[in-house]
Structure formats: C-alpha cells, structure tokens
Amino acid sequence: MRTKYKRWAVEYLNQSFNNQIKLEDFNKEEFLKFIGNSHLFLEIGPGKGQFITSLASKFKEHKFVVCELNDTISGICLKRIDESELTNIKLVAGNFFDLGKIFLENNILFDGIILNFSDPWPKKRHERRRLTSDIFLLEYVSLLKKDGIIYFKSDNDDFSNYSLEQFKKFKFDVIKECFDYNELEDFDALTEFETKFKNEGIKIKRFVMKNNESVIKKSEDLI
C-alpha cells in the first residue's frame, strides 16, 4: 500500500531536526558521541514508528537509526520519535545506499539491521528493489560488524521464502527460522499492522541471521 502525500508530515520533516541525521552535513564526531559505547542498530523502512519507539524504549542502552526514503512516512515517523522523548533514535530521511556510503566512509558499522514487513516487490523485473536482493545484502554485509545480526519479519509468503533463500545463498548463519511467529521475543516489538495480520489469520514469518567469516562479500562470488 502506497502512502498518500501529507503536507503536514513533509513540513514537519523540514522543521524538526533534533532527532534527524542530515547525510549532506554528516558530523562524525557528533554521531560518535551519540553512539557512545552502545550497540548500534539500523531499521530500514520504519513505517509510522511504532516498532522503533517501542523497541528503543525497552532498550535505552542501545542506539537506533531508522532510514526512510519517503518524505511523508519520514515526517510521520519523526513526529512519533520526537513525541516519545526518547534520546536513542535518529532518523535519516533519504536513500539507504547514501547512508551506507557515508557510514562506511566514516567506519561506522552496525550490530544489527532490522527489516520489518518490507515491500515484497513481487514482479520479477522489480527484484533489485527488494530489501533482500543481492545488491542490498552485499551492502548489509559491508555495514554489519563481524557477528552482526539481520532481523527479518514479513506477512508475505513468497517474499519470505525468497528472502530465506537469499540469506542462505549468502551463507549467513541461521539463528531463527520461523514461519508462524506468535510469541514476541525480547529483542522485538509489534509494528502498526502486525496485530492486524495475526487477527486475520496471516502467519508472520521471522528469520534471524548472523554474519560470519564465510558470508559472501563480493558480487563475483555469488553463484
């Protein structure tokens, strides 16, 4: 479902900067001060922010970055972050690969990457847009710490099966492979639509993958 343009959300995004990271003006020293000695996690596609504010409130000792390309969704999410008064979340309103470039240039890596109910992009010609396609996974590997984790949840069967095959193709260690995820694990939180999906009888798929020395890091090594 595509989010309709909301003027107020875009205006909010352009006016509130306390919890934003502007990639064009990235300040490494300021960001390292934000991280401190904490673990750092990235959520790609945070929706309206229910998940990240819930998780960050449970784990205030960790730091979180959310990345969202759509300005309307970014504005809605940022408002929720601001209203939560949490100080351990920063939002990047922009392209994930631009974020990756800046963070790699500054040698900033993540302990975990979170993918919740990503757009499945079901048509074959759109495969490169899927957040678990080769181009994205290669970037995740470069941004993850040695034992970094990818957390994945989806309601879509085909996208889940595709993603699991992708994780295994890249030789991630499979920590969790669940096709009917009901009990909320400690390092997890509900998204806006997750309860709705469950009430409709849609099974939630959840995979947890761990980086390791054998994980494929170059496109030429892919089979």
Which of 82, 111, 119, 173 is an active site residue? Answer: 119
Active site residue 221: no
Strand-by-strand arrangement of the 173-178 sheet: 89-93, 63-68, 40-44, 110-116, 144-154, 205-210, 173-178
* Residue 81 · residue 89 · CB < 8 Å: yes
Which 3-state string (H, E, C) describes 126-171?
Answer: HHHHCCCCHHHHHHHHHHEEEEEEEEEEECCHHHHHHHHHHHHHCC
* Residue 90 · residue 65 · CB < 8 Å: yes
Q: Which residues are marked as active site? A: 119
